[in-house]
Amino acid sequence: MADVHSHAVRSKNMRAIKTRDTAIERRLSALLMDLGVAFHTQDPTLTGRPDFVVPQYGCIIFTHGCFWHHHDCYLFKLPATRTAFWLQKIEGNVIRDKRARIRLQEAGWRVLIIWECALRGREKLTDAALSERLEEWLCEGTDSAEIDTRGIRRLPDPEPTENS
């Protein structure tokens, strides 16, 4: 199936996608403030430019879009056009995410990934459920975890990638 937009229109649409202060980041920011957690955002000095840095708990929080970071959920759908391009682009993101997580953990940070599907969409978690999972992870001290619509799970230690 051909793209319904011209190259120029598609490029304009893609450039309009925000990389910071997104709706899911604003929702998570409000939840962290409600929990009384001090944080700062988009730290360019840290690998991966984490969405949230919580120094008090020694942790990093990333909000990952399910499409851009290839999450196995109903929000991820591989485009029917330029499939090879998108597979390569998304796989590059996954590799970059893994490298960032390895480097951050080696530097002593705990890493939490909160998937877009937990924050928006038909299966999103309620604010109360998400706050409970956030508070649980912050206080228990697990190295790395992820939160999605299925709940909170410890992430296995990542295997190093080439040049990690």
Task: Give me the active site residues, please.
Answer: 51, 63, 69, 97
Q: Which residue has the tokens 């450039």?
A: 15
Which residues 6+ apart lie within 8 Å of 137 measured at CB? 112, 145, 147, 152
Long-range contact set of residues 151-160: C-beta below 8 Å, sequence gap at least 24: 155/101, 155/111, 155/113, 157/105, 158/98, 158/101, 158/102, 158/105, 160/102
Query: Structure tokens of 53?
Result: 């840095």
Quickly tell me which residue has 């940070």 as its tokens. 109
What one-character DSSP code corresponds to residue 114?
A: E
Asked whether 142 and 154 are in contact (CB, 8 A), the reply is yes
How many residues make up the chain in this entry?
164
Give dist(CA 145, CA 136) in Å, integer.
11
